[in-house]
Amino acid sequence: MFFVPLRGYSLGLAIGACVVLGVLLLFLLTQVPHRYRKPIIIGVTFLFGWFYFLEFMIPGDRATAPVRGILRSAEHKLRLAQTDLEAITVIKGQLTVQYVEGGRTVKRLIPKDELKNLELDKGEVKVVHEDKDRPRLGEHDGVRRVMRAREIMAAAVADLRRAKSEIERLRPQVQRQLDQESKKAEAEAKRYKLTKEMLARDEQGNILNQRTKALRKRIDDLKDAAQKKIDPTIATIESARSELGNLSTADVESIRSVAAAKVEDVSLARSTLSDNFLTPYKETASNINAVIGSFAIGLGVFGLMSLHGKTIRRRRRGWINSLAFYVALFAMALVGFLQKYLQQKSGGQILSDALYSGILFNGAYISLQATMFSLVAFYIVSAAYRAFRVKSREAVLMMGAALLVMLGLVPIGQWMTSGITHVGWLGSFRLERVQDWIMTVPNMAAQRGMAFGIGVGGLAMALRIWLSLERGAYFDKQL
């Protein structure tokens, strides 16, 4: 085992060695002849992409493969049953409602789904009587469908049970592996005399290195899948079956929605069990990325400081502003560090905290952000005024949509069409409904049409960069 935590002098030495090694490497890189430079960069680029590519493309590991297979088939069956349930026609229970209109009480017979709209129209509405119709199973040979749905559900439940037993068989194995791993780790800890804070431990006191972490996560996933996902699914589907059993189900909808939710659970369980051998290292990779990336902030700081420094030195116009920049920069950074690293509740810490949280951050910084953002309110007015002219067909379309949506959102607009009743098909011409329709149907579709193009373009560009096929400004340069 090469990567062992160290402490004391040896740690210092190791770090020093790493730094020296790094400097040496950098020196060697400066000596690389020009013709070898591009290939090196191409190789590095490809390798770093390769990790994430494989992590995504390789399916989950072999141990949990059988479970996933069973779950997949169960999911498939449940979805098939779903389609059958969808096809059952249900006559909505008719409601006899009663409400006060113009001083006198009115009694009416309405379909169930009209109730909400009627409430919006008339305010207080009392349901006097609800007659639950049996779902009509005549159309699309519904009886056969229900029968088949029940059969498939039964098969699915059987699958789920198998999956559960499979998981139960798996868990002790993984546990054993975990124990071995943590034993190894403990032994190492003893051998290298590691102190407590040098070891990451979990609540059971096992030492967690990369491998044990992965195993522990695997165990938790198995437990979660078995108890949180599969068990409830079995229960629900069973009850749904029995409900469907006697063909007098009043609310097929509820069964449908419940079943649908459970299907999602199953597919979720499947995905939680699908770690492959690279997945545990994803976190490490992103950490490395973040750390190395954040070394680059110096570039920004130096850039800004040199720019404003020049302005101050040469007393250019507005050098006072550059000075203000410097003051703000140092004040914020300094106060931030002081309030974090001075020991708690010491005078300096309290003062710097007051300056930081009270004045600089919550006082100035946040207000500046919020106000800059709120400027958009003004610019949106002038932009609308200028752009929405009846110049071209396109401009007209834009203007029309914008006007409709704006009116539909505010009370005044809603008041304009408040004459139209909520009930029935007429109700869909109320401005707020029109607004809702525009946003959810044409707008959604258009956005999606654009999104696909953008997605494909991005993927293609990523591919070009990954394989260093990209051309243009930065990539053409001879090194």
Residue 94 near residue 115, CB atoms below 8 Å: no
Pairwise CA distance, residues 225 & 274, whole Å? 12
With contacts defined by CB under 8 A, name the span among 45-53, 158-166, 181-189, 222-230 that binds another protein.
Answer: 45-53
Q: Which is nearer to another protein, 128 or 445 (CB)?
A: 445
Which of 173, 180, 248, 287 is in the footprint of another protein by CB under 8 A?
287
Q: Which is nearer to another protein, 168 or 445 (CB)?
A: 445
Site string for another protein, 373-412 (x = CB under 8 A): xxxxxxxxxxxxxxxxxxxxxxx-xxxxxxxxxxx-xxxx
Pairwise CA distance, residues 339 & 356, whole Å? 7
Which of 127, 143, 187, 328 is in the footprint of another protein by CB under 8 A?
328
Burial annotation 7-43 (CB, 10 A radius, 16+ → b, else e):
eeeeeeeeeeeeeeeeeeeeeeeeeeeeeeeeeeeee
* Closest separation in Å from C-beta 300 to another protein: 3
117 touches another protein (CB under 8 A): no
Which of 218, 234, 413, 430 is in the footprint of another protein by CB under 8 A?
413
Which of 1, 295, 314, 344 is in the footprint of another protein by CB under 8 A?
295
* Closest separation in Å from C-beta 259 to another protein: 13
With contacts defined by CB under 8 A, name the span among 96-104, 156-164, 173-181, 417-425 that binds another protein.
Answer: 417-425
Q: Which is nearer to another protein, 154 or 416 (CB)?
A: 416
* Closest separation in Å from C-beta 215 to another protein: 18
For 174: left if phi > 0, alpha if psi spans -120 to 50, otherwise beta; the answer is: alpha
With contacts defined by CB under 8 A, name the span among 126-134, 182-190, 195-203, 242-250 that binds another protein.
Answer: 195-203
289 touches another protein (CB under 8 A): yes
> Residues with Cβ < 8 Å from 214, sequence gap 6 or more?
275, 279, 280
Which of 63, 120, 219, 260 is in the footprint of another protein by CB under 8 A?
120
Burial (CB count <10 Å: 0-12, 13-18, 19+), residue 76: middle
DSSP at 91: P
Output the six-digit token pair for 342.
């001075």
Report the chain's terminal Cα–Cα distance, integer Å.
39
* Closest separation in Å from C-beta 423 to another protein: 11
Count the helix, strand and coil residues of the chain and give each as a percent rounded to the nearest 5.
Answer: 75, 5, 20
109 touches another protein (CB under 8 A): no
202 touches another protein (CB under 8 A): no
> Residues with Cβ < 8 Å from 355, sequence gap 6 or more?
331, 335, 339
Burial annotation 444-470 (CB, 10 A radius, 16+ → b, else e):
eeeeeeeeeeeeeeeeeeeeeebeeeb
Which of 19, 109, 143, 187 is in the footprint of another protein by CB under 8 A?
19
Pairwise CA distance, residues 108 & 460, whole Å? 61
* Closest separation in Å from C-beta 103 to another protein: 20
> What residues between 122 and 181 interact with another protein by CB under 8 A?
139-141, 145
* Closest separation in Å from C-beta 460 to another protein: 5
292 touches another protein (CB under 8 A): yes
56 touches another protein (CB under 8 A): yes
Q: Which is nearer to another protein, 172 or 363 (CB)?
A: 363
Which of 101, 106, 116, 231 is in the footprint of another protein by CB under 8 A?
116
9 touches another protein (CB under 8 A): no
Residue 225 near residue 167, CB atoms below 8 Å: yes
Q: Which is nearer to another protein, 172 or 307 (CB)?
A: 307
> Residues with Cβ < 8 Å from 108, sequence gap 6 or more?
96, 97, 98, 99
For helices 65-86 and 252-272, give the axis angle rounded to 10 degrees: 160
* Closest separation in Å from C-beta 439 to another protein: 6
Contacts with another protein: how many residues (CB under 8 A)?
214
* Closest separation in Å from C-beta 176 to another protein: 26
With contacts defined by CB under 8 A, name the span among 11-19, 168-176, 213-221, 227-235 that binds another protein.
Answer: 11-19
> What residues between 336 and 365 interact with another protein by CB under 8 A?
336-337, 340, 347, 350-351, 354-355, 357-365
With contacts defined by CB under 8 A, name the span among 48-56, 99-107, 178-186, 238-246 that binds another protein.
Answer: 48-56
> What residues between 422 and 461 interact with another protein by CB under 8 A?
424-425, 428, 437-439, 441-461
Nearest to 278 by CA among 58, 5, 2: 58
Compute how many other C-beta atoms are within 10 angstroms of the C-beta atom of residue 232. 13
Pairwise CA distance, residues 400 & 384, whole Å? 12
Residue 476: strand, helix, or coil:
coil
Residue 193: strand, helix, or coil:
coil
94 touches another protein (CB under 8 A): no
DSSP at 472: S
Pairwise CA distance, residues 259 & 243, whole Å? 12
